[in-house]
Structure 1
Amino acid sequence: MGMLDWLRLIRVSGLATIASNTIASLAMFADDLKPYWMLAPIRHGEVRLLWVPLASFLLFASGMLWNDIHDVERDRVLNPRRPLPSGRVSLPAAYVVGVIMSVGALFAGYMATEEHRIGFYSVGVVLSLALLYDFSAKSIPYLGSLVMGSVRASHAVFVLLLLGPEYVKLVLGISHDPRHPPFLLSYPLILGIYIFGVTLVSELESRRARRWELLLGGGLMAGAVGLACVRLVRAHWIVDIMNQYQPAGPVLIAAAMTVALVILVALVLMVSRPFLQAMKTGKQALVGSTVRAALGGIILLDALIATSGHPLAGLPILLLFPLFRMVGSFIRMD
């Protein structure tokens, strides 16, 4: 039993997408142009909010671990070299670690805010949806994909506790602020739609499917990207820059939009190439290539959406992309 096997079990490269989801979610509510806007809560002494990223890590890791625990018998036949079916990680140890991580996530959520119930219940929703997917829903076409989209969307809501419980209420529509985009343009919804599409396409790797199902998954991903573009052209910082940085305002806006356009083109090219090949040939092997590209596309989508919230917010997310690719190539499932 080695550390690398545990890192494979929790899909450690995927933590880059959790980090990008978090930054994009926070960027929705960047109210000014200061480059350190995201660190404001911690700068103000709210160190307890460091529990939020810990809870996020534990939620992701436990969800991946429980997924492999559930699939261990199937993997003994289909993927015998993986850590659990190969015996490199014992099943009892995986159960113990899975329980510890799940309980730890709930505790971290409880500690994340003074309104303990909001943090605890928020983590509880994410964890419940993840377990529902792992142990039941993923075997049901369409429903499993919808549940996985809901897992990521609910996590994007949870991380708003870094800003405060009032932001969770705002994104859920419980409260209203005219300065921020309507629900149809909210980041959790856009992310949920994209993940719904990615997971729907991934279903087609393991069951017979028609081309229209692949087209549906691709359409959902394209729809999410389209909503992200709508957010971008409605970005509040366009007016802010024009008002605060004359006469350089138009140049700064053009620079930020150029970066966003490069991100958009990279995302579209990366995902559309294997997708169109899969549509053209109907080969199931190309579906896997589409899914891998779309998973990396999560980070680029997040960078695009983060840029719609703050002109600099996409830059730290872009730094996560090579990390995602590098770690994924060195620590990958057999």
Structure 2
Amino acid sequence: MTRLGDYLELVRAPAVLTVLGDSVAGGAAAGRPLTGRRVWMPVASACLYAGGMALNDYADRDIDASERPKRPIPSGRVSPRSALAAASALTAAGLGLCAVAGGWSSLAVGIPLAVSIWTYDLVTKEHALAGAVSMGTCRALDVLMGAGAGHVRPALGAAGIMGGHTVAVTFLSRGEVDGTDAATASGVAAATGLLAASVVAGSAGPPIKTLAVLTATAAYALRCGPAQIRAARDPAAINALNATKAGIRAMVPLQAALAVRHGHLLGAGALIGVDVLGRIIRSRPGGRKVSES
């Protein structure tokens, strides 16, 4: 009988925390903080993300049988049918919560997001460029879902930054098993610097706000930059894997920086709490078992 822990490993539970801030950043950029029913928007994002992770393992079950035999499906702890059912249920739950949180305005973005997630997992991820762009599109749409269809324009910058970071991490993740190459890792490290500069360049306001943006942006760059530089110097699989994990974890401080840039200090504070929670989960016994990769 499949245990709850097996499903948590299937959906990479700690990594789900990194998607909660997308709608916070998008809402902040659009001047629509997540209050009232809109507080359910991050949960909608989490369900859609978790569904995509379950679908990813369903689609990769044959490859994982040889490359990652300890994953839930190849190890026999979760059946392919159960994984597909979980992916479908989580996607439906995500869209339902999206409708509750933001009505048709948010659902108009949530549906394309769900379609993009399933397209990535079942069609585009086998191709390096198409897969990376598809994954970046998913993350950008998640940010825009927090803004809503009628408020997309002011959130495009935040969506582009989160999408760009996701594209870079996705390129690097292709080297988790066989190693990456110095050019790819160097390009990803350079992208991190450019994205950090974009966050800071787009900020304006009193000195205390500028300082907060600089602090959060520095936390983002320091969270993933060193691991990316190590991968550039030595593109072995273990360094590519560690740099990928660092890139995933760096999404939370990046979201916080975007929230601060648009004046949503409460949202940024909540994301700092999410970041601390993620660190606690990863440090506990068994925390690495249900890791991001």
In which range does the TM-score fall when normalised by the shorter chain? 0.7 to 0.9
Partners of 1:51 and 1:265 in 2: how far apart?
Answer: 29
The match for 1:64 is 53
1:297-330 alpha-carbon deviations (Å, 9 max, x no partner): 1111111111111162422211211212222441
Question: Quick one: structure 1 residues 309 and 134, their matched pair in 2 at CA, closer, same or farther if it must change by over 3 Å?
Answer: same
The match for 1:225 is 196
Partners of 2:85 and 2:231 in 1: how far apart?
Answer: 40
Partners of 1:279 and 1:223 in 2: how far apart?
Answer: 17
The match for 1:268 is 221
1:120-169 alpha-carbon deviations (Å, 9 max, x no partner): 442221111111111121111121111100000011111223xxx4213x
Unaligned runs of 5+ in 2: none
**Structure 1 SS opposite 2:241:** helix
Name which of 58, 63, 79 aligns with 1:90: 79
Name which of 144, 160, 175 aligns with 1:157: 144
The match for 2:15 is 14
Give the CA deviation at 1:193.
0.7
Give the CA deviation at 1:171.
4.1
The match for 2:184 is 213
The match for 1:247 is none
Contact 2:180 2:237 in 1 (8 A): no
Name which of 63, 72, 94 aligns with 1:105: 94
Unaligned runs of 5+ in 1: 32-36, 173-182, 239-252
Give the aligned CA root-mean-square deviation in angstroms.
Answer: 2.4
Quick check: which has more Rg, 1 or 2? 1
The 5 Å alignment of 1:172-321 reads 183=156, 186-206=157-177, 209-232=180-203, 235=204, 238=205, 253-310=206-263, 312=265, 313-321=267-275
**Structure 2 SS opposite 1:83:** coil
The match for 1:29 is 30
TM-score (norm 1): 0.77
**Aligned-pair identity (%):** 21
Partners of 2:222 and 2:101 in 1: how far apart?
Answer: 39
- Runs of 4+ deviating beyond 6 Å: none
Question: Quick one: structure 1 residues 204 and 81, their matched pair in 2 at CA, closer, same or farther if it must change by over 3 Å?
Answer: closer
TM-score (norm 2): 0.87
Contact 2:23 2:41 in 1 (8 A): no
Contact 1:231 1:305 in 2 (8 A): no
**Structure 2 SS opposite 1:142:** helix
Question: Quick one: structure 1 residues 209 and 11, their matched pair in 2 at CA, closer, same or farther if it must change by over 3 Å?
Answer: closer
In the alignment, does 2:290 pair up with 1:332?
yes
The match for 2:125 is 138
